[in-house]
């Protein structure tokens, strides 16, 4: 009930009361609208701004090419651009380290390979833990390596290369994408399998190494086959053999190492995607689902075939599958790295 006005001015009291009520209701309406607006912002689905994908190599290499292709296909599904940031050096550990230190909010992705996200853990004393400080998103796929020589290299096939290496021990130079990288370890295995010796020349990624291969500054490389696609097409290098169990669909004339005379020798590189540890599970799931859709796209699958990359089986595309695979690979290769006494350069 309305209290009585002590001065008896009822009309004036009612007018003031009505004004107060209207102001109070207006304030409450503003508060409710503001709360709803803020709540609406909080409820907006991820992502609401551009995402950065860190590539731990300079631009132009196999991982960079793959990252840019995937980024464009992810953009179409996520509705936000994926910005590529190339951070090379130390076999990829500098770029991976930057990803590890980034906020765990889903706006920094770490794409990499068996080198950057597994092998380096056995080579370097890292300020982070490769198996614990990154959250797996998806095992993307794998590809064989290609043994390719400079255009004017004396040997034309694998048997000729091995014969030349034996006749010229420690005189042939081999470019690698970093100490302890996949090509480095494959090269060590190749030396043991063929009883040969040659010199490794480390670079800050495959792209600068390929530039020197083109210029004749190094003799050959053993790196992911997709690196050499354009060079093969322009007849700029001399492809020797593929380290996979089957020939490349994009280059069916290049024999496998086994076909070329070295049975039992295989080597491959695999790719994955990670985010910083403690990234919310719903974001991890959103990214995983997005990548599954991308990898199932027929256009994407054709592009992977052209690059020589084999997409991972559907039952191995979960975050947990990559976590397990990464751990198994580390348990296999870290002891090999330490036994080879590879030193950081």
Q: Give the number of domains in the chain.
A: 2
The tokens of 324 are what? 């397990």
Residues 6 or more apart from 193 whose CB is under 8 A from it?
Answer: 262, 264, 265
Domain-ending residue, one of 216, 240, 268: 268
The DSSP call for residue 309 is P
**Are the C-beta atoms of 175 and 212 separated by less than 8 Å?**
yes
Instruction: List strand residue ranges (DSSP E) for the chain, in order.
Output: 51-55, 82-86, 108-113, 134-150, 173-176, 199-202, 220-224, 237-242, 268-276, 310-311
Bridge-partner residues for 273, per DSSP? 111, 138
Whether residue 177 is found in the same domain as residue 212: yes
Domain-ending residue, one of 216, 237, 268: 268
Whether residue 153 is found in the same domain as residue 124: no
Percent with pLDDT over 90 in the chain: 66
Interval 129-157: pLDDT, tens: 999 999 999 999 999 999 999 999 999 99
Whether residue 181 is found in the same domain as residue 237: yes
Say if residue 34's pLDDT is above 60: no
Whether residue 157 is found in the same domain as residue 138: no
Domain-ending residue, one of 241, 268, 295: 268
Whether residue 129 is found in the same domain as residue 274: yes
Interval 177-229: pLDDT, tens: 888 788 998 999 899 999 999 999 999 888 899 999 999 999 999 998 888 98
Mean pLDDT of 65-90: 95
The tokens of 157 are what? 């096939």
Among 147-161, 235-249, 296-310, 330-344, where is mean pLDDT lowest?
330-344
User: Which CATH number does the domain housing residue 102 bear?
Assistant: 3.40.190.150
- The band of 253, judged by pLDDT with boundaries at 50, 70 and 90, is very high
User: Which CATH number does the domain housing residue 233 bear?
Assistant: 3.40.190.10
Domain that holds residue 253: 144-268
């Amino acid at each position: 009930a309305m209290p009585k006005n002590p001065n008896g001015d009822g009309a004036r009291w009612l007018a003031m009361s009505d004004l107060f009520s209207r102001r109070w209701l207006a304030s409450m309406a503003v508060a409710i609208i503001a709360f709803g607006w803020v709540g609406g912002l909080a409820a907006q689905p991820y992502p609401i701004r551009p995402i950065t994908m860190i590539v731990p190599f300079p631009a132009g290499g196999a991982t960079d090419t793959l990252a840019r292709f995937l980024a464009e296909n992810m953009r179409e599904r996520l509705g936000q651009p994926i910005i590529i940031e190339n951070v090379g050096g130390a076999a990829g550990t500098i770029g991976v380290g930057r990803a590890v230190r980034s906020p765990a909010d889903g706006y920094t992705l770490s794409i990499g390979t068996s080198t950057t996200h597994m092998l380096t853990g056995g080579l370097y004393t890292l300020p982070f833990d490769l198996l614990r400080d990154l959250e797996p998103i998806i095992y993307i796929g794998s590809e064989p390596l290609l043994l390719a020589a400079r255009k004017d290299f004396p040997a034309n096939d694998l048997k000729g290369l091995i014969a030349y290496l034996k006749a010229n021990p420690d005189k042939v130079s081999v470019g690698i994408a970093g100490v302890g990288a996949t090509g480095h370890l494959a090269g060590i295995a190749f030396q043991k399998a063929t009883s040969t010796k040659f010199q490794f020349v480390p670079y800050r990624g495959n792209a600068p190494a390929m530039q020197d291969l083109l210029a004749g500054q190094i003799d050959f490389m053993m790196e992911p086959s997709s690196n050499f696609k354009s060079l093969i097409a322009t007849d700029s290098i001399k492809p020797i053999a593929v380290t996979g169990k089957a020939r490349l669909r994009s280059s069916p004339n290049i024999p496998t190492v086994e076909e070329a005379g070295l049975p039992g020798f295989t080597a491959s590189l695999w790719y994955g995607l990670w985010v910083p540890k403690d990234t919310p599970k719903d974001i991890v799931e959103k990214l995983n689902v997005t990548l599954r859709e991308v990898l199932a796209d027929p256009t994407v699958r054709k592009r992977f075939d052209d690059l020589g990359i084999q997409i991972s089986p559907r039952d191995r595309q979960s975050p947990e599958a990559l976590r397990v695979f990464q751990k198994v690979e580390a348990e296999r290769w870290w002891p090999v790295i330490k036994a080879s006494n590879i030193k950081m350069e």
